[in-house]
């Protein structure tokens, strides 16, 4: 036993509790004396009483929680705890050595003067046995929590024998201390100060600064609503934090992308406030999951580019379908189509009908009529992008100067718009479409008029489904193939457009008996187009030769075909056999990416037991061209893998993708549904760990507050030549105290058991209960 | 109101009809006026022919020049969504088959224009009989067509309906859904349109003379426009609002200082 070793009692309970315990002990002893009063033999009674007293005293001793403190005197003087910040921000350094290297150099100088207990820190305190072990560590911690590290040190077992603490850091905290401390705070908040008080040590801080300010632009947040409506502009706010560019000339480029497609770019001057909130607008075009990316182009002298972009996911729904309906003349086809569209309360219909012929303008007085000028410019320059669907119904666009706006229309379609051409004598080749830019993004090929061909053929036309049409969601008028063929066989058209043929990447879904295209569809860039080469679809809604029951069926076919055509043109996800639900926000790096896939048949029933194939692709915009980007039937995905788990009874399966690298991705899934290879894709993002990169400029503000609160000092880049100032030494400063809890040791339990067992045995032997 | 030089207009109409695009009557989607062959009904062929001619002359509607008569119980009425029924005599009791066919026709998109062709005044016999027969078609009675209804703006701006006579100040109709499927006028519209074989008009128009006849033609044009366009012209009361509603528009259309000019020979919608 050394000098100074001693016993400490816990005695944590309040005195009334102890009073109660004492009374209880006396009661137990009194009852014991009463119990043994009739026992013959003084010695026996004295022995039993002694055992009971010993037991009670032992229990009382345990309740007092005795701790043995042994003091070991350590030669060499006072130790200093040195904590070196190894968070990722310490790996930076604009010129020369990194902050980490400079911190190690300064820490090494401390050890030359004083004995050191070594630690590093990032999210928590990390003990080290030696400086060599500290040196071997990497500055790659993904967080800096100064308070947590000091709190860990505050454990009584670690501070014993320490004289001071030295915290070596760039001061960039991203834990609670940073959150709780205002930029102009003069003192620490009470909670943080209490953590330091528990140390009962001075915490000196060594601020590692850069010789030259670190330059960095960080996209710290992309704020947008989690839901949007198609073709409705929504505000997006991008938060930027600029370091080291306060007085710099030049500008940076902020880019906003939607599913990989650039939607807006903004130039911003570098000179200005370090924190900025940039307002942008974004117009989602399609229903379904969208991934927004805000990024700034890397600047030549930026410290890091890992924080130059961020993502936000949102779900886009359609509130109303806005339809622009342009008709070359009023007809029964326009009448029934109008009634169909107006019958849908979710449709906003904007119509323009050409109501007088070219020859009539001279003698129909505009004053007496309700005619208005055809607002070509307003429609095609200002409002086109606001429409979900544009319909040209027997519309000869040539006389109305629409041709000059074809580039806008092309941009609209390839950018995600929907374009439907309904035929007639004034449409397609007969309407002068051949040779125009518009003809290039139709799903059929137009031919020049020759001889007596006016682009139109009279007569009854019997439609026939093509193999593609038999499976296409647009032309499915019944749930099964036989029913579908029967449905098409009960209809006919009056007249069709001529001088057109199947061609390109479009899908011809129905032809006449001679194979002339009647109904065709195509993907055009991000958008879609369709052609129905007749003006008599209305006869399905008003059949002339049919029984009453058949009329109802026929009318249903009319509405179903138009609904499906519209839905397909609008990329309605309900038409997709496979539907994906990607994560609703960017996934943290290292976490699995979970995507729910639902499979439905053409009749809407869940498809169970389906094996999916999947692959990841870069999230890139489709090529900006008029040729279809997604020819049908879909080609199999390259390098796809089978998912081990099939769809369940609800047609669902969750793909949990591990080890997906940081960045934006496109998940592509395919499966054979209804005998056809179906594909679907959805965007998602895996966010890189950028917590440490959100701010890069060293700051000694928190370090000064820590030192001030604990009675320490703050130095910059190096420690004083005289070493770390220490308080005046006492005996306890030079010794390590080792605490041993006696009351928790197993010997105590054994001792109590022995006493109680012996007393029980004697009592049985001497005839007591 | 400026008078329209009818002779040149008609001459122009004939010239247009002689063109290749209109050389033959067009089936399919083209409009053909059809009249109901009901016992006692006036044969309106002359009037409907002139009606179709004026439609061709004044509008872009692709309309067949020759009307056709069809019995109401004939399934062929479903080839002609627009029906005309004119008479000045008490109508016969329609067969149940005819009532069912007409009800089906009018309920699914067809339209019936009824014309009281009484000579000196609206025929009471036809009026009463018609109301009785229409009551068999639809439970809802004939109702007044308000002067503000889109029918009076579907092509021409009209203040009131006139025909060969002008004593009835309003039309009546039966609504099916959001539109009138039956329209009933009591001013002998076909009488104002009918021509003699030699070229002149068959009947004098009273009391307004030729100006009233022109108004009758305009009403005839509006009726066909309404059949084909429904409430399209109602759109235009709010279409600018729709366009101004900034849903995706790069700039509000209201910034346009004035409507774009109409180029020479450029048709108007």
Closest residue, chain A, to B103 (C-alpha): A548
Tally of domains within chain B: 1
Is the pLDDT score of A403 beyond 90? no
Interface test with B, best of A235, A358, A370 (most B CBs within 10 A): A370
Give the pLDDT score at A145. Answer: 92
Residue B133 has a CB neighbour count (10 Å cut-off) of: 20
The answer to whether A356 faces chain B, any CB pair under 8 Å, is yes
Q: What tokens appear for A666 in the block?
A: 């496109």
Distance between CA A447 and CA A497 in Å, rounded?
11
CB of A78 less than 8 A from some CB of B: no
Categorize the per-residue pLDDT at A9 as very low, low, confident or very high, splitting at 50, 70 and 90. Answer: confident
* Cross-strand bridge partners of residue A3: none
Sign of the CA dihedral with A757 first, then A758, A764, and A769 last: negative
pLDDT of residue B209: 92
Q: Which of B58, B110, B243 sits opposite A378 (nearest CB)?
A: B243
- The pair of structure tokens assigned to A503 is 């061609």
Measured CA to CA in angstroms, residue A556 lies from A27, A204, A563, A744, B81 at distances of 94, 82, 10, 84, 18
| Structure tokens belonging to residue A55 | 């037991």
Beta strand pairing status for A66-73 and A6-9? Answer: antiparallel
Check B60 against A330: CB less than 8 A apart.
Answer: yes
β partners of residue A422: A393, A532
- pLDDT (0 to 100) of residue B262: 34
H/E stretch holding A52: helix A42-63
Smallest CA-to-CA distance from B105 within B129, B85, B90 is with B85
SS (H, E, C) chain B: CCCCCHHHHHHHHHHHHCCHHHCCCCCCCCECCEEECCCCECCCHHHHHHHHHHHHHHCCCCECCCCEEECCCCHHHHHCCEEEEEECCCCCCCCHHHHHHHHHHHHCCCEEEEEECCCCCCCHHHHHHHHHHHHHHCCCCCEECCCCCHHHHCCECCCCCCCCCCCCCCCEEEEECCEEEEEEECCCHHHHHCECCCCCECCCCCCCHHHHHHHHHHHHHHHHHHHHHCCHHHHHHHHHHHHHCCCCCCCCHHHCCCCCCCCCCCCCC
A587-588, strands of its sheet edge to edge: A587-588, A676-687, A663-673, A613-618, A641-642
Tell which CATH classification among 3.20.20.120, 2.30.60.10, 3.40.710.10, 2.60.40.10 matches the domain A216-317: 2.60.40.10
This prediction's pTM: 0.65
Closest CA to A351 of A376, A378, A382, A327: A327
Dihedral pair phi/psi, residue B128, rounded to 5° = -65, -45
Q: What is the topology classification, in CATH, of domain A321-358+369-571?
A: Rossmann fold (3.40.50)
Phi, psi of B85 (to 5 degrees): -135, 110
- Tell me the CATH number at B32: 3.40.50.12140
Whether B263 is in a domain gets the answer: no
Write out the residue range of the structural domain in which residue B178 sits. 6-238
Summary mean pLDDT of chain A: 86
Task: Output the CA torsion sign for A671, A674, A680, A686.
Answer: negative
What is the dihedral sign for C-alpha B57, B59, B64, B67? Answer: negative
Torsion A738-A741-A745-A748 (CA) sign: positive
Q: What is the mean pLDDT of residues A611-626?
A: 73
pLDDT tens digit sequence for A439-490: 888 999 999 988 888 899 988 999 999 988 887 889 988 877 788 888 898 8
User: Of A370-374, A459-463, A469-473, B128-132, which has the strongest mean pLDDT?
Assistant: B128-132
Give the position of tokens 């199947």.
A502
Report in angstroms the alpha-carbon separations of A668 from A318, A634, A644, A656.
23, 12, 16, 14
Q: Give the pLDDT of residue B15.
A: 31
Residue in chain B nearest A338 by alpha carbon: B229
Which residues from chain A sit within 8 angstroms of residue B110, using beta carbons?
Answer: 542
What is the per-residue pLDDT across B151-163, written as a single tens digit (0 to 9) for each? 999 999 999 999 9
Cβ of residue B157 closer than 8 Å to a chain A Cβ: yes
Mean pLDDT of the A158-179 span: 85
CA B209 to chain centre: 21
Residue B26's pLDDT band, with cuts at 50, 70 and 90, is very low
Residue A628 pLDDT level (bands cut at 50, 70, 90): very low
- Domain A575-687 classified CATH 1.10.10.10? no
A373 Cβ under 8 Å from any chain B Cβ: yes
Task: For chain B, say whether A400 makes contact (Cβ under 8 Å).
Answer: yes
- Domain A78-212+697-728, CATH: 3.40.50.410
Eight-class DSSP state of A383: I
Q: So where are chain A's domains?
A: 6-72+740-765, 78-212+697-728, 216-317, 321-358+369-571, 575-687
- Measured distance CA(A447)–CA(A468) in Å, rounded: 23
Tokens 């650039």 correspond to what residue? A262
Instruction: Convert the pLDDT of each residue in B72-92 to its tens digit.
Output: 999 889 999 999 999 999 999
Distance in Å, alpha carbon of B85 to nearest chain A alpha carbon: 20
Q: How far apart are CA B112 and CA B102, in angstroms?
A: 9
Alpha carbons A104 and A86: distance in angstroms, whole number: 10
Instruction: Judge whether residue A238 has pLDDT over 90.
Output: yes
pLDDT for B37: 95
A-B interface: how many C-beta pairs under 8 angstroms? 212
Which residues 161-220 of A have a C-beta within 8 angstroms of B?
none
Over residues A18-59, the pLDDT tens digits come to 899 999 999 999 998 888 888 888 888 898 899 999 999 999
Reference B104, options B74, B124, B64; nearest CA is: B74
Kindly report the nearest CA distance between residue A365 and chain B, in angstroms: 9
Instruction: Nearest by CB to A283, from B153, B230, B248: name it.
Output: B248
Interval A541-590: pLDDT, tens: 988 766 667 777 888 899 999 999 999 999 887 778 888 999 988 888 88
**Does residue B109 fall inside a structural domain?**
yes
List strands edge to edge, sheet with A216-223: A216-223, A234-243, A275-282
Check: CB of residue A65 under 8 Å from CB of residue A743: yes
**What is the reported pLDDT for A727?**
76
CA–CA min distance A359, chain B (Å): 8
Which residue did the predictor score with more confidence, A591 or A327?
A327
Same fold, A321-358+369-571 and A575-687: no
For residue A294, is pLDDT > 90?
yes
DSSP A637: P
Instruction: Write out pLDDT tens, residues A357-368.
Output: 777 766 677 778
**pLDDT for the residue B265:** 37
- Which residue's entry shows tokens 């305009």? B218
Q: What is the pLDDT of residue B236?
A: 60
SS3 A283: coil
Which among B56, B232, B242 has the least Cβ separation from residue A338? B232
Residue A355 has its nearest CB partner, among B59, B230, B265, at: B59
The alpha carbon of residue B265 is apart from the nearest alpha carbon of chain A, in Å, by 6
Q: Tell me whether residue A370 is exposed, middle or buried, using C-beta atoms within 10 angstroms of its C-beta: 0 to 12, 13 to 18, 19 or more.
A: buried
Scan for tokens 């004098």, then name that residue. Answer: B204
Q: Is residue B252 part of a domain?
A: no
In this structure, chain A runs to a length of: 769
Strands A116-121 and A79-85, sheet pairing: parallel
The answer to whether residue B178 neighbours chain A at the CB level (below 8 Å) is yes
């Amino acid at each position: 036993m050394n000098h100074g070793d001693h016993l400490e009692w816990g005695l944590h309970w309040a005195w009334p509790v102890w009073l109660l315990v004492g009374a209880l002990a006396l009661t137990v002893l009194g009852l014991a004396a009463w119990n043994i009063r009739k026992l013959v033999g003084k010695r026996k009674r004295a022995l039993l009483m002694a055992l009971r007293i010993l037991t009670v005293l032992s229990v009382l001793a345990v309740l007092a929680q005795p701790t043995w403190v042994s003091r070991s005197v350590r030669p060499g003087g006072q130790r200093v705890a040195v904590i070196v910040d190894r968070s990722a921000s310490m790996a930076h350094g604009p010129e020369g050595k990194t902050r980490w290297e400079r911190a190690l150099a300064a820490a090494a100088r401390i050890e030359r003067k004083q004995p050191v207990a070594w630690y590093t820190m990032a999210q928590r305190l990390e003990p080290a046995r030696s400086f060599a072990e500290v040196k071997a560590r990497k500055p790659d911690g993904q967080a800096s929590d100064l308070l947590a590290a000091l709190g860990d040190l505050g454990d009584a077992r670690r501070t014993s024998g320490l004289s001071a603490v030295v915290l070596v850091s760039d001061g960039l905290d991203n834990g609670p201390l940073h959150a709780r401390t205002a930029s102009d705070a003069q003192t620490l908040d009470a909670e943080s100060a209490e953590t330091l008080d528990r140390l009962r040590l001075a915490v000196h801080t060594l601020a590692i600064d850069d010789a030259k300010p670190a330059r960095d632009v960080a996209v710290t947040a992309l704020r947008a609503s989690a839901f949007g409506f198609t073709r409705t502009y929504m505000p997006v706010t991008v938060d930027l934090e600029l370091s080291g560019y306060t007085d710099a000339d030049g500008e940076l480029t902020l880019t906003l992308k939607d599913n990989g497609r650039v939607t807006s770019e903004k130039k911003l001057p570098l000179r200005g406030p370090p924190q900025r909130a940039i307002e942008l607008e974004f117009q989602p075009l399609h229903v379904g999951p969208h991934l927004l990316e805000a990024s700034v182009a890397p600047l030549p002298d930026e410290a890091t580019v890992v924080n130059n972009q961020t993502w936000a996911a949102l779900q886009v729904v359609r509130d109303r379908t806005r339809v622009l309906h342009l008709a070359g003349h009023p007809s029964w086809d326009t009448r029934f189509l109008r009634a169909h569209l107006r019958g849908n309360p979710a449709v906003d219909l904007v119509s323009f009908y050409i109501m007088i012929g070219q020859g009539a303008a001279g003698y129909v007085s505009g004053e007496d009529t309700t005619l208005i000028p055809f607002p070509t410019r307003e429609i095609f320059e200002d409002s086109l992008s606001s429409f979900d669907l544009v319909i040209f119904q027997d519309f000869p666009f040539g006389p109305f100067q629409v041709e000059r706006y074809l580039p806008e229309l092309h941009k609209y379609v390839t950018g995600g718009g929907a374009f439907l051409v309904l035929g007639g004598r004034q449409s397609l080749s007969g309407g002068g479409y051949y040779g125009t830019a518009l003809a290039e993004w139709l799903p059929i090929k137009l031919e020049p008029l020759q001889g007596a061909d006016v682009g139109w053929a009279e007569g009854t036309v019997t439609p026939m489904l093509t193999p593609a049409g038999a499976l296409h969601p647009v032309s499915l008028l019944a749930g099964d193939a036989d029913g579908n063929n029967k449905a098409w066989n009960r209809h006919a058209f009056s007249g069709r457009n001529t001088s057109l043929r199947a061609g390109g990447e479009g899908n011809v879904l129905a032809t006449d008996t001679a194979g002339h295209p009647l109904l065709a569809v195509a993907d055009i860039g991000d958008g879609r187009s369709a052609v129905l080469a007749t003006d008599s679809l209305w006869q399905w809604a008003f059949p002339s030769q049919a029984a009453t029951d058949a009329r109802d069926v026929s009318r249903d076919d009319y509405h179903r075909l138009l609904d499906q055509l519209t839905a397909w043109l609008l990329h309605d996800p309900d038409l997709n056999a496979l539907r994906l639900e990607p994560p609703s926000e960017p996934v943290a790096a290292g976490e699995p990416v979970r995507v729910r896939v639902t499979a439905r048949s053409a009749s809407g029933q869940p498809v169970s037991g389906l094996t999916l194939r999947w692959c990841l692709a870069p999230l890139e915009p489709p090529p900006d061209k008029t040729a279809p980007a997604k020819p049908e039937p879909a080609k199999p995905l390259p390098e796809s893998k089978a998912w081990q788990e099939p769809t369940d009874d609800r047609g669902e399966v969750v793909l949990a993708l591990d080890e997906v690298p940081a960045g934006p991705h496109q998940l592509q899934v395919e499966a054979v549904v209804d005998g056809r290879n179906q594909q679907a894709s959805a965007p998602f993002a895996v966010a890189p760990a950028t917590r440490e990169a959100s701010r890069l400029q060293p700051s000694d503000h928190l370090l000064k507050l820590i030192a001030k609160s604990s009675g320490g000092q703050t130095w910059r880049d190096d420690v004083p030549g005289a070493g770390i100032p220490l308080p005046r030494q006492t005996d306890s400063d030079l010794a390590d105290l080792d605490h041993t809890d006696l009351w928790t040791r197993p010997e105590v339990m054994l001792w109590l058991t022995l006493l109680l067992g012996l007393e029980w045995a004697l009592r049985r032997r001497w005839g007591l209960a | 109101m400026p008078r329209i030089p009818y002779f040149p207009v008609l001459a122009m109409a004939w010239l247009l009809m002689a063109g290749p695009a209109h050389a033959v009557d067009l089936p399919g989607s083209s409009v053909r006026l059809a009249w109901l062959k009901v016992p006692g009904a006036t044969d309106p062929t002359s009037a409907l022919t002139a009606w179709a001619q004026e439609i061709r002359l004044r509008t872009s509607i692709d309309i067949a020049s020759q009307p056709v008569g069809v019995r109401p119980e004939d399934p062929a009425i479903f080839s002609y969504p627009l029906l005309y029924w004119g008479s000045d005599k008490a109508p016969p009791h329609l067969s149940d088959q005819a009532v069912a066919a007409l009800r089906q026709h009018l309920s699914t998109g067809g339209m019936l224009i009824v014309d009281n062709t009484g000579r000196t005044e609206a025929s009471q016999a036809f009026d009463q009989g018609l109301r009785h027969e229409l009551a068999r078609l639809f439970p809802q009675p004939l109702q007044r067509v308000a002067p503000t209804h889109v029918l009076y703006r579907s092509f021409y701006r009209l203040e009131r309906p006139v025909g060969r006579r002008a004593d009835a100040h309003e039309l009546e109709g039966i609504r099916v859904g959001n539109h009138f499927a039956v329209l009933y006028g009591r001013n002998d519209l076909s009488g104002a349109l009918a021509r003699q074989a030699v070229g002149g008009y068959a009947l004098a128009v009273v009391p307004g003379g030729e100006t009233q006849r022109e108004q009758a033609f305009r009403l005839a044009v509006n009726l066909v426009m309404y059949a084909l366009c429904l409430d399209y012209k109602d759109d235009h009361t709010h279409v600018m609002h729709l366009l101004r509603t900034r849903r995706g528009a790069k700039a509000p259309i209201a910034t346009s200082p004035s409507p774009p000019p109409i180029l020479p020979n450029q048709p108007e919608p």
